Amino acid sequence: MHMRSVALLCSIAILAACSGKMGQSSLTPTVSNNPAFAGNAAAQGKGALVMRVKMSRRADRPDYVSPATQGMSVAITGPTNFKQSAGLLANARGCKSSLMTVECTLTIPSLTACPTSANCYTGSVTTYDKFNSATNKIPGGAKKLSADLAFHFSIHSGDTTVPVVLQGIVKSIAFIPGPTSSLTGNMKSGFIFPKCSAKKEAVSIVAVDADKNYILGVGAPAIAVATDDKTQLGVAKAKGIAPNTFALVPPKSPNYAYGNHTTHLTVTATPRSGSGQTAQDTVVAVTYSGDICGKFTEFAIPTVASHPWGITLGADGNLWFTELTANKIGRITTAGTITEFPVPTTGAGPAGIAGGADGNIWFVESSASKIGKMTTTGSAVEFATTTAASNPVEITPGADGNLWFSESNASKIGTITTGGTVSEFPTLTAAASPFGITQGPDGNVWFTEETANKIGSITTAGAVSEFSIPTASSRATDLVTGSNGALWFVECATNTVASITTLGAFTSQFTTPDISPTYPVFITAGPDGAVWFSEAGVNKIGSATMAGAISEFAIPDVGSEPFHLVTGPDGAIWFVEQSGNKVGRLR
């Protein structure tokens, strides 16, 4: 794309070949020393309009013109009307060239003088990217590049010069990251802003003409940028002399950038008066990356020794968690405000928790062998499992719109409709102790069998399959679908993160760097495409890429014993600290 600025493309010199005293009814012609007036000396009350267009081809000059410019049309209305086209090429009539410059002269003779000193003429100039030198006309199909459709002047005694600034005609808008910018992407797909960067990102925003040349300089339209979410991404004019440079501003502490959050910038190019066109808009999407920056924040749960177990994202945009010994369901906003709601059954032991397709919060009551449903306002109802003392542990939404849960003591997988109807299906292995459970990418529900050392799956019709884990006595506790479409699970007894395809093939197995018993217990899909897991034994949150690169982050509160974790609406990893009695956030 070519750099282009439309500046003082031409000065229109109103060279009136007449003089006299004010109030006289006739004007006595004089002879100008300008060659353009040859032959006009006898024309009483007439003047000539001489248009000189000087076009530099140097991009560093403020009057640099589009390299696509080849011709222009001129129309004059007033006491005398005139319309003509002119070429702006080196070989065009009235044009001459020198180093890096083409200069053209167009003379419009015999314009009747204005009756008063007020402007009585209106001029219109439009430039084009094509010109036919043989016919001295703008050919059909030529694209308009710039225009001034309403400049006013007068023909009166003496010489008058009227500058005309051609306004670039906008066909599109270019959004250009600065040379040192960390932004990646393009106008079509959107741009990615690195979430962990706290610096402002400089961008140039430029209007583009029909020949894909940038419109810069005096005749360029005014550029404005508006954000649809200024708390996540602000916009400011960048310091310096560049008029089209803006700064994209990430939030300042205590606010923070939300991973994978998209802000839409509306860019408006508003032409100055005279171009004959309206403002042009385009929308640019800027999305923060899903990176985790290693910054922890911890929020104390109001109830002492509540032993939080599970955490999930609710339909209301808040995080919801269970308090095992406090017998409560907690809600925390992304700003850290916690509200607690009691579970109806005393000593129910709420554990696993999930958001349902109905917009409610669903949780298991491990001690009461019930399934609970809570609205986002805190109103709860309960439904008993079919098998007594089944010890439900974890719960997940299924592809069928029902909730599916594991029953550790009963070695069954249960399902409950949003209306409260419960069904149960036994695992193929007796005393399997099913534990973690999740919806798989194949539409089936997948689960771990902690004591049987297997991974199981069940269709929504109740058909169960099981796959033996290669590592003996691994004590697989939880699993989740990874960004590569495999099921990733943690082996609590072997410090291992592993994966299995939906066809039952075990494909990956990675050990955590810490050689201590790390006890990876729960796992979730991260905002960055990795899987994230809690290491209860070493007080860390770990991550593993699909290629097996493992990273670990130590939780500030020593001995917190992290348990369940989930990606929040802010792109952070939210987790509960069972011993620390806190909800943590890693962003």
* Rounded CA separation 314/331 (Å): 9
- Answer yes or no: are the C-beta atoms of 543 and 586 closer than 8 Å: no
27 token code pair = 């004007």
* Rounded CA separation 533/548 (Å): 13
Q: What angle do CA 581, 582, 587 make, to 5 degrees?
A: 155
In 241-346, beta strands by DSSP E: 245-249, 262-270, 280-288, 296-300, 308-313, 319-323, 328-332, 338-342
* Rounded CA separation 355/7 (Å): 60
Number of other residues whose CB lies within 10 A of the CB of residue 357: 15
- Answer yes or no: are the C-beta atoms of 548 and 510 closer than 8 Å: yes
Report the candidate in 483, 567, 571 with the shortest Cα–Cα distance to residue 290: 571
* Rounded CA separation 50/474 (Å): 91
Q: Across the chain, how many H-helices and E-strands are there?
A: 0, 50
509 token code pair = 């197995």
Quick check: helix, strand or coil at residue 298? strand
* Rounded CA separation 337/269 (Å): 42
Catalytic, out of 156, 261, 307, 564: 564
Report the candidate in 185, 182, 178 with the shortest Cα–Cα distance to residue 204: 178
564 annotated active-site: yes
Quick check: helix, strand or coil at residue 387? coil
**Distance separating the N- and C-terminal Cα atoms of the chain:** 39
Number of other residues whose CB lies within 10 A of the CB of residue 34: 15
User: Which residues on adjacent β-strands are paired with residue 115?
Assistant: none
For residue 43, give every residue at least 6 positions away whose Cβ sits within 8 Å of its Cβ, in sequence order, or none.
17, 29, 109, 110
364 token code pair = 């298991």
Q: Report the phi/psi class of residue 277: left, alpha or beta, with left for phi > 0 and alpha for psi in -120 to 50.
A: beta
> Which own/partner contact pairs does 454-458 have at CB distance under 8 Å and 24+ positions apart?
454/429, 455/479, 455/487, 455/489, 455/500, 456/413, 456/427, 456/428, 456/432, 457/502, 458/404, 458/413, 458/425
Looking at the annotation, which residues are catalytic? 564
